[in-house]
């Protein structure tokens, strides 16, 4: 049986709220999008819960929610929850050492 998410080395270090500004760029280093974001990450009932809220200059607010389930002793599978634009999104996040998470 895989270990509890709270006993992982890296994911528990990311619990909390991050706020900041994002600027998305295209392959030619041209700005495509800019917004203020708040990312809330927590562990509840051995699941990774993440809510991303984006605030745009035109007043739009977009919220995306994700849930991650433990699939091994160093991996969680993350899926979007009720986000039509991300309806087929799934990724595997794996810890490496005590400070790195790689998403595939």
| Residue 81: closest CA among 50, 37, 43 | 50
d(CA 58, CA 37): 14
Q: pLDDT digit string (tens) for 15-74? A: 999 999 999 999 999 999 999 999 999 999 999 999 999 999 999 999 999 999 999 999
Coil, helix or strand at residue 31:
strand
Check: CB of residue 37 under 8 Å from CB of residue 20: yes
Pick among 3.30.2010, 2.40.128, 1.10.10, 2.120.10: CATH of 5-103: 2.40.128
Check: CB of residue 104 under 8 Å from CB of residue 89: no
Q: Which pLDDT band holds residue 83 (cuts at 50, 70, 90)?
A: confident
d(CA 37, CA 21): 6
Domain positions in the chain: 5-103
């Amino acid at each position: 049986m895989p270990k509890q998410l709270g006993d992982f080395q890296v994911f528990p270090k990311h619990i909390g709220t991050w706020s900041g500004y994002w600027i998305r760029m295209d392959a030619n280093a041209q700005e495509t999008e800019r917004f203020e974001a708040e990312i809330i990450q927590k562990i509840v009932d051995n699941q990774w819960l993440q809510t991303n809220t984006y605030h745009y200059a035109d007043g739009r607010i977009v919220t995306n929610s994700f849930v991650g389930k433990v699939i091994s002793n160093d991996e969680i599978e993350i899926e979007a929850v009720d986000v039509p634009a991300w309806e087929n999104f799934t990724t595997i996040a794996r810890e490496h050492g005590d400070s790195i998470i790689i998403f595939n």
